[in-house]
Amino acid sequence: MIKRSFLGFVTPKLKHNIVPGPVQELPVPSKVTLLLKEPQNGGNASSLKAGDTVRTGQRLFASPDSAEYVISSVTGTISDVAPYMDSYGRKYAAVTIETGGQDDWEDEFNKEPSLDTALKFFEYAPGNPSFRPFADPEKTIRTIVINGMDQDLLITANQYVVQNEAADIKEGVKALEKITGADRIVITVPENLVQQANTTGAELKTLSTTYPDSLPHMIMKNMLGQVVSAGDTPEDTGVVFINAEAASAIGAAFETGRLRVTKIVTVVGKDGNTTNIRTRIGTPLRDILQACNVSINERDRLILGGPMRGTATYSEDLAIGPDTDGIVVQDEANSSQVTDYPCINCGECVRICPVKIPVNMLVRFLEARLYEDAASMYDMECCIECGLCSYACISRIPIFQYIKLGKYELSLTETAEAANE
Ligand code: SF4
Ligand code: SF4
């Protein structure tokens, strides 16, 4: 539940919803769309073509020599392979598969827990874990944190998993030990899930339910006593974060011999009520909203993710990915629209920022697209992407979106400069 303070001087406390509702299982949709990253080395976006038949659990590659793949969540026939660009300009092939009848499972999954297996089969698992840091010779990963608390308000997908799939997480912990050789596996949960988390075999840490304490940088500082330097990631400090849903999916895969191809999503309707559903990865938003009786009118806001950190999107034809924990629909009348009003220097963003960034100054440089100055003078890269500044901004400046764009643009510049050296 979001609690907004009515006293202007008091920092509002935002609390997570810690009681996950039951999960409604959706039937197999008539089609799914999976986004396949374009190979980094260029070349064909995809060697897949309309008319190809695919099986459930089959790996679909961008090109024969690419490391990028998706896992087909259904059995059926590819009906379209179209270029797709996300809001940052990253390119994908959108692979649409018309489903047909029963699942015919691909049996390529190798049941031996190893890093090679994880890289081959789990990079598209629900929860979207990445094992690439373990294969990076420049990184030494000693600790895995299984995050059993969702990273945005109102979303309860991972809490549902801890509450109901602790046995699968336990198998996941055993598999992660073999796959990665990590010395330490920690699970973080709110107080009400301690009993279930205690059965997983991971070291237990109890999180406060105050937002944004479940974000990785905050867990690093508050639970592990490690501060991530500006511009670094937890992996640079030797820690990898994996969502509880991913740990459960990995455990279940080794238990059953089949990859999990479904995703739990919390749907937040216009009235703020939430419904948890489980559906195939790649299900169109339209099917999910219909199943939850949520209708959309023109100018309503549709958000992929949660209310604080999610990304507004434009079409119900888009599909959920392995990292989609939430879908939020806001009525036009009740959603605060962003504006191009100027900053009035009220300081609310500075007071609410958990890492004390001078956001009022930062936003001026971001609006002028001076990203290098924003990073070097106003700590842009210290931002932990909680979205609290946008929430507090009286001028409704989309600060959080500016910061994410600024970081992305700066990373492109740095990559290009490194390539030219
Ligand atoms: S999103 Fe805003 S409030 Fe949150 S850490 Fe970044 S600058 Fe601070
Ligand atoms: S909250 Fe908005 S208006 Fe106030 S100082 Fe920050 S950016 Fe400016």
* Residue minimizing CA distance to atom 3 of ligand 2: 343
Same domain, 193 and 142: yes
pLDDT of 284-306, one tens digit each?
Answer: 999 999 999 999 888 899 999 99
The answer on 408 and 362 residing in a single domain is yes
Same domain, 143 and 240: yes
Say yes or no: 46 and 143 in one domain.
no
Rounded to an integer, what distance in angstroms lies between the CA atom of residue 288 and that of residue 266?
10
What is the extent of the structural domain holding 82? 29-99
Beta strands in 158-209 (DSSP E): 184-190, 203-207
Residue 303 lies in a domain: no
Domain shared by 135 and 211, yes or no: yes
In testing the pocket of ligand 2, which one of 363, 366, 383, 402 has its CB within 8 Å of the most ligand atoms? 363
In tens, the pLDDT along 169-200 reads 999 999 999 999 999 999 999 999 999 999 99
Residues 78 and 199 reside in one and the same domain: no
Question: Which pair of tokens denotes residue 234?
Answer: 């937890």
Of 338, 342, 286, 289, the residue nearest 312 (C-alpha): 338
Domain contains 368? yes
Residue with tokens 């055993």: 174
Asked if the structure places residue 152 within a domain, the reply is yes
- Domain presence at residue 82: yes
Whether residues 77 and 139 fall in one domain: no
CB 136 within 8 A of CB 176: no
Q: Token digits for 152? A: 């945005």
395 lines ligand 2 (CB under 6 A): yes
Q: What is the pTM of this model?
A: 0.92
If asked whether residues 154 and 212 sit together in one domain, one would say yes
Residues 151 and 239 in one domain: yes
- Specify if 269 maps to a domain: no
pLDDT of residue 268: 95
Any ligand 2 atom below 6 A from CB of 353:
no
Query: For the domain that residue 79 is a member of, what is the CATH number?
Result: 2.40.50
Separation CA 384–CA 243 (nearest Å): 17
**What pLDDT band is residue 340 in, cutting at 50, 70 and 90?**
confident
Domain count of the chain? 3
Q: Does any domain span residue 273?
A: no
Q: Give the angle 243-249-253 at the CA atoms, nearest 5°.
A: 150
Q: Above 50 in pLDDT, residue 4?
A: no
**pLDDT of 64 above 80:** no
Atom of ligand 1 nearest to the CA of 387: 1
Quick check: 92 and 85 in contact, CB under 8 A?
Answer: yes
Per the prediction, the chain carries an average pLDDT of 91
Position 45 scores a pLDDT of 52
89 and 182: one domain?
A: no
Greater model confidence, 63 or 325 = 325
Same-domain check for residues 231 and 142: yes
How far away, in angstroms, is 398 Cα from ligand 1 center? 11
Q: Is residue 410 part of a domain?
A: yes
CA atoms within 13 Å, Cβ hemisphere of 71? 28
pLDDT digits (tens, 9 = 90+) for 152-170: 999 999 999 999 999 999 9
Pick the residue whose CA is nearest to atom 7 on ligand 1.
383
**According to the model, what pLDDT value does residue 8 have?**
39
Reference 294, options 322, 263, 270, 259; nearest CA is 270
d(CA 156, CA 160): 6
- Per-residue pLDDT, 12: 54
State the pairing for strand pair 31-37/53-54: unpaired
Q: Which ligand is nearest to the CA of 393?
A: 2
The answer to whether residue 412 sits within a structural domain is: yes
Bond into 212 cis (ω within 30): yes
Q: Are 360 and 228 in a shared domain?
A: no
The band of 62, judged by pLDDT with boundaries at 50, 70 and 90, is confident
Domain at 170, CATH number: 3.40.50.11540
Alpha carbon of 185 to ligand 1 centroid (Å): 28
For 222-257, what is each residue's pLDDT tens digit? 999 999 998 899 999 999 999 999 999 999 999 999
pLDDT score of 13: 73
Range 234-244 burial, b when 16+ CB lie within 10 A, else e: bbebbbbbbbb
Higher pLDDT, 149 or 101: 149
